[in-house]
Every structure is written in C-alpha cells, then in structure tokens.
Structure 1
Amino acid sequence: RKKSTCFSDWKHAYERLHVHKTSLGHKNGVLKIKKRRQAEARIDSKLLEQLEDERKYCAISSHKRVIKRKKRDDEYREGEVLSLERDHFRINIFFPICDQLLDKLRMRKTSYDAVTSNFAFLCKLDTMSEADKTPKVIPD
C-alpha cells in the first residue's frame, strides 16, 4: 500500500496552523505577496503611472471651455507663422487693397446717388411735357 503524503493529523491541526502562521517562511511569503501587489514593484508600474496622469489630465481638461473666435481672412493671431509667401501676400497685401477699393466704391456710389436724385429729371426732358418741366427746372 502507498503511503499518503496528505495531512492526516486533524486532532492537532489548529496547533500546526498556528506554528505555520508564526513561522519565518510564512511571514516572508506574505511580505512578498504584499510587495508584488504594490504598483512600484510591478513590471508595468511606469504604465500605471502614465495612465493615472492621463486620467488626472482628462478630468481637468474636460471641464474647461475652449473659447474660439472666427478668424477673418485678412488677420492672423500673434505668434502665428504664415506657411507660404502666397498666404502672406494674400493676407497682408491683396485683402487690404480689396477692402480699400470696396470702401471707395461705396463712397462713390453714395455721392452719385445724391447727384442722381437732384438731376435725374434731365434724362427724361425729351419725354416730359412743358408743364412738368417748369417745376423741376425752377424750384420754388
């Protein structure tokens, strides 16, 4: 018959467990397990630190409101570098010239509107009757 290697002294099991708990081997084993559970002793400790940093950053940055203002074609922000000379020409030369041209054309239109309102009747002189011409030419 084979001899069993299992524990069979159940009458003295409590004393044996108490001896095992207080033994140096058991204490060292428990300390090793606790140390392995700590984040610093793990192989992926740097990864865990990076993950925690990202969680903190996301918690802070997700609550911030980003204010954006629509940028016009002829302006750029301070410190912004223009990537192409074409962009520099377009923003700093072409668009300002177009703006000035539009302003001058609007001024010219308002002055022509004033002249037209005063002298538009001259274009219709050949179709107007004599009675209609007199009050227009000689106002009261």
Structure 2
Amino acid sequence: MMKGYMLFVYLCIVYQQFYCTSAQATWSNWSNWESCSVTCGSGTRTRKRTCSVAGSCTGDATQTESCTSGVCPVDGMWGDWSPWSACSPTCGDSSSLQTRSRNCDNPAPSDGGQNCLGSSSDTRLCTIGACPGTV
C-alpha cells in the first residue's frame, strides 16, 4: 500500500498534475526578503515560495511587509524675501540701491540634501526725486 502511495506522490510532484490533493502538496522554504522598494523612507519588501504541486497548496505564495530604508535627504528651499531697504538719501539728484534678502530655511537642507540654488540677496536701483522746496 505504501509503495503505491509513494508512486502517486512522486508522479504528482514530477508531472504537477492538478488531480493531486493538497495532502501531497508542500510549500518550499521562503526565499530571502527582496530589497526594500525605496532607497530612503518607508516602503515594502516581499519574499516568495513555491508549491510542489502547482495550484494545490493552501496559503499565500508571497508575503509582503513594511520596511524602512534610512533617512531621506531634504533639499533646501528659499524662505520669503525681506522687505526692500529704504532709499538713502530720501531726496536729491542722486540714486542709490535698495537691497533685500532671504534665507535658505523653508526647509533648511538636511541629511545630505542640496543647498538652495540662486542668490540670497537682491538689489535694485532706487531713483530719488528732488527734495521739497528746491527748484
């Protein structure tokens, strides 16, 4: 009796017949976990196994779990411009420059992120009109 059963199991495995019952079907060991789906932050990873008789095993052939893969770099972004500085002098036949500035802090770069691109200051010409009471 045992010899006939073993032959049935052998044929079941070798030829992967679908009439075999799940009692003869077995799962392989789980594969190693794959790499995390992201290089930084939160992602997922999977591992797989195979059934000795296709379609006959109960349970899942794939497992998925959450994974974390280090801290993501944050690139810096510019904050708002400050108000323009006052023109000086306030009147007369001359011109001067006004300035304004901004900080790379919205957010500041961190964890290997890039600094802000561009200038942190700006200037413009300020034309000054004639002083009151002058001709």
Same fold, judged at TM 0.5 (above): no
With the shorter chain as reference, the TM-score category is under 0.3
Q: Which has the higher helix share?
A: 1
Q: Which has the higher strand share?
A: 2
Highest relative contact order (Cα 8 Å, sep 6+), 1 or 2?
Answer: 2
TM-score, normalization by structure 1: 0.20
TM-score, normalization by structure 2: 0.20
